[in-house]
Amino acid sequence: MPVEALLERWGPHRNDTPPGGFEEQTRHPPDRLVKTHCCFCGQQCGIQLKVRDNQVVGFEPWEEFPFNRGMLCPKGVRRYLQNSHPDRLLAPLLRTDTGFRDAGWDEALDFTARRMREIQDRHGKDAVAVYGGASLTTEKAYLLGKFARLAVGTRHIDYNGRLCMVSAGTAYKLAFGADRAPNPWYDIPQAQVLFVIGANVAECSPITTEYVWRCRDNGGKLIVADPRLTPITRNADLYLPVRPGTDLALLLAMLHVVLRDGLEDREFIEAHTTGFDAVAESAKAWDPRRAAEVTGVPPDAIEKAARWFAEADRAMALHARGLEHHTKGVENCLAVVNLCLATGQIGREGAGCNMITGQGNGQGGREHGQKCDQLPGQRSITDPAAREHVARVWGVSPDAIPQAGLSAQEIMEAIHRGEIKGLLSICFNPLVSLPESAYTREALERLEFFGVIDFFMSETAHHADVVLAGSLHEEEEGVTCSVEGRVIHVQQAVTPPVDARADSWIICELGRRLGEPRHFAFASPREIFEELREASRGGIADYHGITYEKIDAQMGVFWPCPTLDHPGTPRLFEGGRFLHPDGKAHFQTTEWRASGDPLDDEFPVFLTTGRVVSHYLSGTQTRRIGPLIDQYPEPQLEIHPRLAEAHGLAHGDWVTITTRRAEMTLQAAVVRTIRPDTVFIAYHWAGARSANQLTHRSLDPRSKIPEFKVSACRVRKAAGPPAWAPRRKVELPMRRD
Amino acid sequence: MFGYEFYVDPSRCIGCKACENACAECDTHRGTPMIHVDFLDRRESIATVPTVCMHCDHPTCAEVCPADAIKKTEDGVVQSSLKPRCVACSNCVLACPFGVPKMMPRLEQMMKCDMCYDRTSEGRRPMCATVCPSQALAYVTPARMAAERRQAPSNVFQFGNQTITTKVFMMLPPDQPAVSVDVVDYMWEGRP
């Protein structure tokens, strides 16, 4: 079936109004308000959903929830429009010669299990892989890990968080022994210096903005390092226009200044850390002048940033994908950690280094076993004691748990090579979100079997043999863990419509067909959570003392929470106690190296990608919500007037951008808010509008995150608009005239 | 809500349009926002500004209305035009110094921000100020504003010879030198 026909049938189409239109809402008030959380992004704002006749019909702010106190971004305000959406998948679908047909659940589930088993019988257990996602509740993520290991019996399970938080997670585990932002967000306003590097806070974690502004109102200084003047930069006290891919040099130079001027915290270093000398040695070569040549940040600005950060009583760093999406993403994050450790800026109110997790359950989704190398509780899958504990909870021998498998991008490459022949995917749209989409498409077409669990027909699902109609966020109860390590309770507001089913029911049904039914005898998410509490017990992310009731009573519980009478742990590392067995933080050396797609004469411009405020990730949901589409309808190329003029480009012109992989044409937004050696595209769209046609597959060797933030490209004026361009002139969302 | 005031601080605005979206979702607006967010000039800067009705003490919109259709409540909220009186002439739209009233051609009526009268009368804060993630729009007590913010509130505006005082406060920045908004000015390359 041609893509056009699939798009015509399954969307994305727009939904602009609640069921029955706005007039219906005034005539028939909602039956009830459900206090729950937004489905988008790691902020996990509290929100009340209006429910009528088993449909979500609107929202109301939830002012009592302490994290966001009623605040929401446009995605949260309009999130309800995904419910009762015309594109919603309402029954399982099986591929036919001409597209898809509705199927019964038994037929679809039996088919899925049979095809997976056939491939494994012929090619071995590891010939089938499982993809998960970080927007799933923690119960679903936990269940999926158990399903992959016990029912499918494959080593290869990984998730789309591999594109998100893994560089920081790897760095924090190496340095601190735990993968979590150490500070609760109410610490942010207490910082005297706030250093935001590689984080477009206003657009990707909008609620954090208010915490940043409160910090400034308290007299705090704001430092922002980014190749673009992002919205929070409007109030920055110091802006560092770092060249893409050079954050590490900037951070090493800041450490250089700290050590050169004797601003380090010797007492803290000696009492609470190891490995300082090697890191100090590695910073010696990075004087600000050398770093300026590499980063494009003036030496005096580097000096000032370092001094402000070190001399403050309380300084805090915030960082996100801008540091992580690099072949040295782990090093970048470690360099922030090293700066905080060297200056003793950690483990206190208003002091620390904090990653801003991106996906809805970015934190909780990576703690309990859908990562290729982890078991529940942030346990290492290679640790014999961890395997024994989890095996005991699961009622199996430790040998029954497969060893570590491949990461998300590596799984796609093994599919491309023909080593993995079957794939079951939930909550992941790799055709849009993985780098070099032509390669991903080729790989998907080589699969002998591809099953998808989703609520909308994503572009990836076009390639599926079977699509199992799963559940939306508001259709199943569970917990997630927010950006600040707060475990919160997502409520079921409505039941899945028509013949769609709860995700956990689908996974259990497949588990019963593929493995021993006793492992998947869960009747509700609560039962899954009870087992998860045991599985995480004694681990780093210890949920044993958390219950649904405790979350409701406390408005969230911060892990670790080992016992029922434990209040939870909002702030980690207080008193300099870290979670390594020796109780210390471990400095890690970082080595400078170039990015995986270097500039040359043919490709002389940096391409960097990211998000806009009205869309979420691969756009599967937000490209279906009318008002969010209107706010940013199409991708555009942000380009500085200096670079635009060199290519004869005016604002609104169609421009072709070419990398070593592909080319695409889109409209130029000529703005002074980006470095002239860099262009930017948001990545939320599919097909010819997808920025990931252009990106490259180089990975960080440790975190396995792709280098979305740096590609080499060239730009030229296009002969005309691309085929996807609307007939009418596309309006750039620029200014209101 | 007694003791609460409405404050606008454009320097906090991040242009996310949560306010516009939430305004449109308010029960009485049926999908149409009564407020708006603008880039000042996106080519030059990321600066944005939200515009809500300032609720003037002597509303120009009401003064120019030939049908006497625009009324102010006792607590100072300037309301949308009265449907039976409004002649849809757009005088108010043209006259308002802040650019707030909107003509709704389908309804043949001027509608505007009424500071969520339906919500504040029930003890709920206005929709835009509740959701605003940067609190560029804030509905709080003056005491809290004075305690928490660097900026100072003002409600006196000079438009040529016309001085306007308003119910809504604008937060003004402390004295500061002009700030460049071109990324080039912060870069190392090309410096002497």
> What is the residue extent of each domain of chain B?
5-186
> What is the residue extent of each domain of chain A?
3-82, 93-164+361-566, 166-355, 605-717
Confidence category of residue A26, pLDDT binned at 50, 70, 90: confident
Query: What is the interface size between A and B, counted as CB pairs within 8 Å?
Result: 163
Minimal Cβ distance to A73: which of B31, B42, B133: B133
Report whether pLDDT(B20) > 80.
Answer: yes
Smallest CA-to-CA distance from A634 within A656, A617, A612 is with A612
Q: Name residues whose C-beta falls within 8 Å of residue A4's C-beta, 6 or more positions apart in sequence.
A: none
* Number of residues in chain A: 737
Task: Find out whether A126 and A420 touch, Cβ atoms under 8 Å.
Answer: yes
How many C-beta atoms surround the C-beta of residue A608 within 10 A?
Answer: 25
Report whether pLDDT(A102) > 80.
Answer: yes
What pLDDT was estimated at residue A733?
A: 61
Please state the pTM of the whole predicted model.
Answer: 0.96
**Tell me: the pLDDT tens digits for A301-313?**
999 999 999 999 9
CA pair distance A503, A513, nearest whole angstrom? 16
| Residue B146 near chain A (CB below 8 Å) | no
DSSP A418: T
Contacts of A222 in chain B (CB under 8 A): none
Question: What are the tokens at A639?
Answer: 């380009």
**Crossing angle for the helix pair A166-176 and A329-342, nearest 10 degrees?**
40
**Tell me: the pLDDT tens digits for A258-290?**
999 999 999 999 999 999 999 999 999 999 999
DSSP A148: I
- CATH number of this structure's domain A605-717, picked from the four choices 3.20.20.150, 2.40.40.20, 3.40.640.10, 3.40.50.2000: 2.40.40.20
Strand order in the sheet with B152-159: B137-140, B5-8, B162-172, B152-159
Confidence category of residue B175, pLDDT binned at 50, 70, 90: low
DSSP A93: E
What are the two backbone dihedrals, phi and then psi, of residue A26, each rounded to the nearest 5 degrees? -75, -30
> For A637-642, what is the mean pLDDT?
98
Interchain proximity B41–A640, CB inside 8 Å: no
Interchain proximity A70–B125, CB inside 8 Å: yes
Give whole-number Cα distances, B75 to A292, A666, A708, B114, B167, in Å: 58, 51, 54, 12, 9
Percent of chain A exceeding pLDDT 90 equals 96
Q: Name residues whose C-beta falls within 8 Å of residue A122's C-beta, 6 or more positions apart in sequence.
A: none
> For B122-131, what is the mean pLDDT?
96
CA pair distance A459, A687, nearest whole angstrom? 8
Task: Find out whether A230 and B46 touch, Cβ atoms under 8 Å.
Answer: yes
What pLDDT was estimated at residue B114?
A: 92
State yes or no: cis peptide before B192, omega within 30 of 0: no
State yes or no: cis peptide before A570, omega within 30 of 0: no
Nearest residue of chain B to residue A68 (CA atoms): B133
Beta strands A636-639; A486-490: pairing state = unpaired
What pLDDT was estimated at residue B174?
A: 67
CA pair distance A333, A705, nearest whole angstrom? 13
What pLDDT was estimated at residue A736?
A: 45
What pLDDT was estimated at residue A732?
A: 67
What pLDDT was estimated at residue B181?
A: 54
What pLDDT was estimated at residue A737?
A: 39
Smallest CA-to-CA distance from A435 within A127, A133, A162, A716 is with A162
Contacts of B188 in chain A (CB under 8 A): 292-293, 295-299
- CATH number of this structure's domain A93-164+361-566, picked from the four choices 1.10.10.10, 3.40.50.970, 3.40.630.40, 3.40.50.740: 3.40.50.740
Give the gap in angstroms from C-alpha B70 to the nearest C-alpha of chain A: 24
Minimal Cβ distance to A234: which of B11, B130, B135: B11
Q: Name residues whose C-beta falls within 8 Å of residue B22's C-beta, 6 or more positions apart in sequence.
A: A72, A77, B127, B128, B130, B131
CA pair distance B6, B168, nearest whole angstrom? 5
Using the structure block, give the residue that is written with the tokens 């967010």: B37
> For A211-230, what is the mean pLDDT?
98
Report whether pLDDT(A161) > 80.
Answer: yes
Q: Kindly provide the b/e burial profile for residues A576-605, where b requires at least 16 CB atoms within 10 angstroms of the residue's own CB.
A: bebbbeeebbbbbebebeebbbebeeebeb
Confidence category of residue B173, pLDDT binned at 50, 70, 90: confident
DSSP per-residue codes, A268-325? HHHHHEE-HHHHHHHHTT--HHHHHHHH---HHHHHHHHHHHHHSSSEEEEE-HHHHS
Contacts of A240 in chain B (CB under 8 A): 186
**Tell me: the pLDDT tens digits for A333-349?**
999 999 999 999 999 99
Q: Is the ipTM of this complex over 0.85?
A: yes
Confidence category of residue B29, pLDDT binned at 50, 70, 90: confident
Residue A708, helix vs strand vs coil: coil
Nearest residue of chain B to residue A298 (CA atoms): B188
Instruction: Output the average pLDDT for chain A.
Output: 97
Task: Find out whether A106 and A118 touch, Cβ atoms under 8 Å.
Answer: no
Beta strands A585-586; A273-274: pairing state = parallel
Question: What are the tokens at A285?
Answer: 């070569």
CA pair distance A717, A715, nearest whole angstrom? 7
Which of A674-683, A720-729, B37-46 is the most confident on average? A674-683
> For A470-475, what is the mean pLDDT?
98
More confident position, A46 or A4: A46
CA pair distance A382, A476, nearest whole angstrom? 32
Task: Find out whether A153 and A125 touch, Cβ atoms under 8 Å.
Answer: yes
Smallest CA-to-CA distance from A609 within A713, A467, A702, A519 is with A713
Beta strands A157-159; A128-132: pairing state = parallel
> For A467-483, what is the mean pLDDT?
98
CA pair distance A370, A501, nearest whole angstrom? 21
> For B171-192, what is the mean pLDDT?
71
HEC secondary structure over A238-254: EEECCCCCCHHHHHHHH
Interchain proximity A77–B25, CB inside 8 Å: yes
What pLDDT was estimated at residue B162?
A: 82
> For B172-189, what is the mean pLDDT?
69
> For A609-627, what is the mean pLDDT?
98
DSSP per-residue codes, chain B? -TT-EEEE-GGG-----HHHHHHHHSTTTTT--SSEEEES-TTT---EEEE----BSS-HHHHT-TT----B-TTSPBPPPPTTT-----HHHHH-TT---EEETTTTEEE-----HHHHTTT---HHHHH-TT-SEEEE-HHHHHHH-SSEEEEEEEETTEEEEEEEEEEEPPP-------GGGG-STT--
Residue A550, helix vs strand vs coil: helix
Task: Find out whether A262 and B77 touch, Cβ atoms under 8 Å.
Answer: no
Alpha helical stretches, state H, A91-159: 105-123, 138-146
The CATH number of A3-82 is 3.30.200.210
Task: Find out whether A19 and A27 touch, Cβ atoms under 8 Å.
Answer: no
Contacts of A231 in chain B (CB under 8 A): 14-16, 46, 48
> For B145-167, what is the mean pLDDT?
89
Residue A658, helix vs strand vs coil: strand
Contacts of B184 in chain A (CB under 8 A): 640, 642, 672, 676
Confidence category of residue A634, pLDDT binned at 50, 70, 90: very high
> For A354-381, what is the mean pLDDT?
96
Q: Is A637 exposed, middle or buried (0-12, 13-18, 19+ CB in 10 A)?
A: buried
Task: Find out whether A17 and A83 touch, Cβ atoms under 8 Å.
Answer: no
Give the gap in angstroms from C-alpha B164 to the nearest C-alpha of chain A: 24
Nearest residue of chain B to residue A615 (CA atoms): B16
Confidence category of residue A135, pLDDT binned at 50, 70, 90: very high
Minimal Cβ distance to B18: which of A73, A670, A735: A73
Give the gap in angstroms from C-alpha B163 to the nearest C-alpha of chain A: 25
Q: Name residues whose C-beta falls within 8 Å of residue A628's C-beta, 6 or more positions apart in sequence.
A: A74, A75, A78, A614, A615, A622
Contacts of B131 in chain A (CB under 8 A): 61, 70-72, 76-77
Minimal Cβ distance to B134: which of A78, A210, A670: A210
Beta strands A557-558; A585-586: pairing state = unpaired
A73, A629, A632, best to mutate vs chain B, most B CBs in 10 Å = A73
Interchain proximity A297–B187, CB inside 8 Å: yes
Interchain proximity A292–B188, CB inside 8 Å: yes
Question: What are the tokens at A391?
Answer: 């095996």
In the stretch 65-124 of chain B, residues with CB closer than 8 A to chain A read none
Question: What are the tokens at A526?
Answer: 């609560």
End-to-end Cα distance, chain A? 44
Q: Kindly provide the b/e burial profile for residues A332-349, where b requires at least 16 CB atoms within 10 angstroms of the residue's own CB.
A: bbbbbbbbbbbbbbbbbe
Smallest CA-to-CA distance from A226 within A255, A206, A257, A203 is with A203
Task: Find out whether B186 and A301 touch, Cβ atoms under 8 Å.
Answer: yes
**Tell me: the pLDDT tens digits for A430-439?**
999 999 999 9
**Tell me: the pLDDT tens digits for A167-191?**
999 999 999 999 999 999 999 999 9
Confidence category of residue A470, pLDDT binned at 50, 70, 90: very high
What are the two backbone dihedrals, phi and then psi, of residue A272, each rounded to the nearest 5 degrees? -125, 5
Q: Do domains A3-82 and A605-717 have the same CATH topology?
A: no
Report whether pLDDT(A522) > 60.
Answer: yes
**Tell me: the pLDDT tens digits for A401-428?**
999 999 999 999 999 999 999 999 999 9
In the stretch 16-45 of chain B, residues with CB closer than 8 A to chain A read 16-18, 20-22, 24-25, 27-28, 30-31, 36, 38-45
A15, A16, A17, A22, best to mutate vs chain B, most B CBs in 10 Å = A22
Interchain proximity B18–A58, CB inside 8 Å: no
**Tell me: the pLDDT tens digits for A653-709?**
999 999 999 999 999 999 999 999 999 999 999 999 999 999 999 999 999 999 999
- CATH number of this structure's domain B5-186, picked from the four choices 3.40.50.280, 3.30.230.10, 3.40.50.1220, 3.30.70.20: 3.30.70.20
CATH architecture of A166-355: 3-Layer(aba) Sandwich (3.40)
What pLDDT was estimated at residue B146?
A: 93
What are the two backbone dihedrals, phi and then psi, of residue A2, each rounded to the nearest 5 degrees? -65, 155
Confidence category of residue B91, pLDDT binned at 50, 70, 90: very high
What pLDDT was estimated at residue B94?
A: 95
Beta strands A422-426; A449-454: pairing state = parallel
Q: Is A101 exposed, middle or buried (0-12, 13-18, 19+ CB in 10 A)?
A: exposed
Q: Kindly provide the b/e burial profile for residues A52-76, where b requires at least 16 CB atoms within 10 angstroms of the residue's own CB.
A: beebbbbbbbbeebebbbbbbbbbb
Partners of A59 in beta bridges: A49
